[in-house]
Amino acid sequence: MISKQLGIKLSALTLALILAGCGGGGSDGYYNNGGSSSGNTGGSQNGIETPEISKVNISKVEIFDQNSVVTNTVTTTGATARVLVTDQNQKPISGALVTFTSENISFSSTNGAVLTDVNGTATIALKPTDDLATGAYKISASVEIDGNSAQSAITNFIIGQVQTKFSDLTLESSTIDAGASVKLHAKTVDKETDKLLNNIKVNVTAECGTFSSNQVNSNQGLVETTYIAISEGGQLCTGTQKITLSANNGAVTSSINVNINSIKANSISYSSGTVKLGTINSGSSSSGKVEFIVYSNNVPARNQDVSVELVYGPNDLSFVSLNNRTTKIIKSDEQGKVVVDIFPGSIPGPVEIKATLLDDTQVTALSKDVSIATGRVTQNGLSLSVSKNALQWDVDGDKATIIARLRDRVGNKVPDGTVVSFVTEGGSITPNCSTIEGECSVVLQTQNPRPADNRVTVLAYVEGDKTYVDKNSDNLYTAGIDELTNNIGDFFRDDNENTIFEAALGEFLYKRGAIGTTCVPSTFKHPNIAGTCDAALEAVIREQLVFAFSHDVPTITDEQITNKSSLTFKLFGNSAQSVPMPTGTTVALEAEDNTKTNEKSCSTELWTGSSPVASVFNLLTPTSFKTSSQVNYNFRLKECDSGDSLILTVTAPTGQVTKQEYVIR
């Protein structure tokens, strides 16, 4: 064992001496022993010296097609570029960085750079960046390793259109049902050699129909997609449809026909949901629509015959066309829809329409939640309410909400969108509101102008119908047969509350211009002008309210202490004594027991009156208002005697405090 190891060591030493002698001390030899020729140093791996690279060489770029044949043409199918990298001794260099450069070419690496393999070869895939590009171009490569670099010679090439044709174009079935699908197969081959061509971009189109993918890249020369007999708009395709394949951006095409059976509808459904229509005289739309949809295998089916009939409905309702009540046949439209027009009469009630497919299935569908339910507001169907009706004169912007509620002659809420208008004598008001579910609201607020009598008239009005007695019970007004019970005509805003229109005062006037029939007398709540009525049903329904614009300093009158047992007085919000104190004003009476010699203890209790002042009460006319319980107060006195004092405190919403003392005599 010892002699064998010694022999190996001697052989290595002998070899080293020989190499040292040949290499001139290791400075210029193939193996470097620490010298620095060309700036590079050798090294060792696992005790074995590696050669030094003092020069790097790179070959001219060669281009190969998909069959590894040298070519000077690059097409959309792609190609590969290849160079060989060697050292100064023509030995291949592995791990060198090679960067390829060209125009209108995309490389398989993002920066166009790759490393050489163990054979010194650098290979990269390339294809045109633009499928439409053509022309002559150049390509080159550069290499870099250990500080050494080299540039290849330029290689010229052309970008050309691949010469493609389609072969074996087939459908798995030549006949399908409307809405069904079928697979399509084809091959992309070289026009001259019939060899399969890979990665050819193929576009697939049809006059009617869609595809699982309408742009496919051939894989190993094979093209596959699925045709669906439904248009892009969701409609069923029928008849003979031509499927066209195109490659090379349309330069090469091929087509095949698919036969599609006629549409076979197999279901129908009601699709309108809830439909509520007004009567013919409701002021809303004079007609409505309900809708059904015909399907073939869950896809809307066009051009299908559907029988439509009225099952239930008021006896003056018509459908499909005005005055028609007989069964009709309607064809479904391009979206499979069957639209049925409905023309309400004057009678409310539920409606049910049946649609039936006219084929072997006789499938039917019924409309649901369709009704004729609402009419115009009737004369006694307008109702106004307020959040408060005594506002504060002394501030701007004190607000009251007015709510209008409207119903028709048979008690149904009027159609949504019925407009109620408002005008006011003082302050400002929202000009109108539009009903939702039979009601809407506006806001009145304090500001200039402020009427001198502190009383503000607000008038609401809306297009509607007069009240009448339906003597022939057809729910439809017929002049000369039915009887108007409360005929009204032109009207006005009654600012001075005397029920008479006075143009000299500038009162607001609404004229309709009717004549010929006696009018009912005018009232403050429902103002009316004599001689302006007719026998027609239509009218403008009106109603008036009065609001107080009250001061925060009270006017106290008619104070009286009776039998030492009660204090009564009237409390007003103005000196004219025509309005109450503002809503929210508090009224309190406190007793001071000044008679200490007796055993009595004077106390008070509010017996009648409002504290705080109520939000809503009836102002009526200035005269009748003075008898209202809202301004009349009575405090009960208990165990009070002569000499005791009563302190009345009135606190307005503004915080204004007014006190008044009374001494019992």
Q: Is the per-residue pLDDT at 22 higher than 50?
A: no
In this prediction, residue 287 carries a pLDDT of: 82
In this prediction, residue 351 carries a pLDDT of: 94
Of 225, 244, 260, the one marking the end of a domain is 260
More confident residue, 597 or 547: 547
The total of other beta-carbon atoms located within 10 Å of residue 480's CB is: 6
Percent of the chain past pLDDT 90, that is, above it, reads 67
Could you tell me the pLDDT band of residue 454, with boundaries at 50, 70 and 90?
very high
The C-alpha atoms of residue 569 and residue 558 are separated, in whole angstroms, by 5
In this prediction, residue 70 carries a pLDDT of: 95
- 363 with 393, same domain: the answer is no
- 419 with 502, same domain: the answer is yes
- 575 with 541, same domain: the answer is no
> CATH number, domain at 474?
2.60.40.10
Give the mean model confidence (pLDDT) for residues 49-72: 86
Closest CA to 427 of 458, 462, 453, 381: 458
In this prediction, residue 280 carries a pLDDT of: 81
| Radius of gyration of the CA atoms of the chain, in A | 51
234-274, pLDDT tens digit by residue? 889 999 999 999 987 667 899 999 999 998 888 999 999 88
In this prediction, residue 51 carries a pLDDT of: 59
Q: Is the per-residue pLDDT at 48 higher than 70?
A: no
- 418 with 461, same domain: the answer is yes
In this prediction, residue 36 carries a pLDDT of: 33
282-331, pLDDT tens digit by residue? 766 668 899 999 999 889 999 999 999 999 899 899 999 999 999 999 99
Q: Is the per-residue pLDDT at 26 higher than 60?
A: no
Q: How far is the first Cα of the chain from the last one, in angstroms, to the nearest whole number?
A: 149
- 169 with 243, same domain: the answer is yes
Domain that holds residue 61: 56-159
Q: Which residues contact 224 (CB under 8 A, 6 or more apart)?
A: 183, 184, 185, 186, 216
Of 199, 226, 260, the one marking the end of a domain is 260
- 17 with 92, same domain: the answer is no
Task: Classify strands 349-357 and 305-312 as parallel, antiparallel or unpaired.
Answer: antiparallel
**SS3 letters across 266-286:** CEEEECCCCEEEECCCCCCCC
The C-alpha atoms of residue 442 and residue 436 are separated, in whole angstroms, by 13
More confident residue, 430 or 163: 430
- 389 with 520, same domain: the answer is yes
- 285 with 329, same domain: the answer is yes
Of 226, 260, 294, the one marking the end of a domain is 260
Q: Bridge-partner residues for 374, per DSSP?
A: 278
Give the mean model confidence (pLDDT) for residues 161-168: 86
- 394 with 452, same domain: the answer is yes
- 405 with 509, same domain: the answer is yes
In this prediction, residue 7 carries a pLDDT of: 40
Range scoring the smallest mean pLDDT among 157-161, 313-317, 474-478: 474-478
Q: Which amino acid is at 271?
A: S
Could you tell me the pLDDT band of residue 197, with boundaries at 50, 70 and 90?
confident
In this prediction, residue 656 carries a pLDDT of: 95
More confident residue, 131 or 46: 131
Number of structural domains the chain divides into: 6
Q: Which residues contact 115 (CB under 8 A, 6 or more apart)?
A: 94, 95, 96, 97, 98, 122
Length of the chain: 665
More confident residue, 30 or 410: 410
Angle ∠(179,182,185) on CA atoms, nearest 5: 150
Question: How does the average pLDDT of the chain come out, rounded?
Answer: 87
- 278 with 174, same domain: the answer is no
Contact present, 424 and 458 (Cβ < 8 Å): yes
- 222 with 117, same domain: the answer is no
Count of CA atoms in the C-beta half-sphere (13 A) of 370? 28
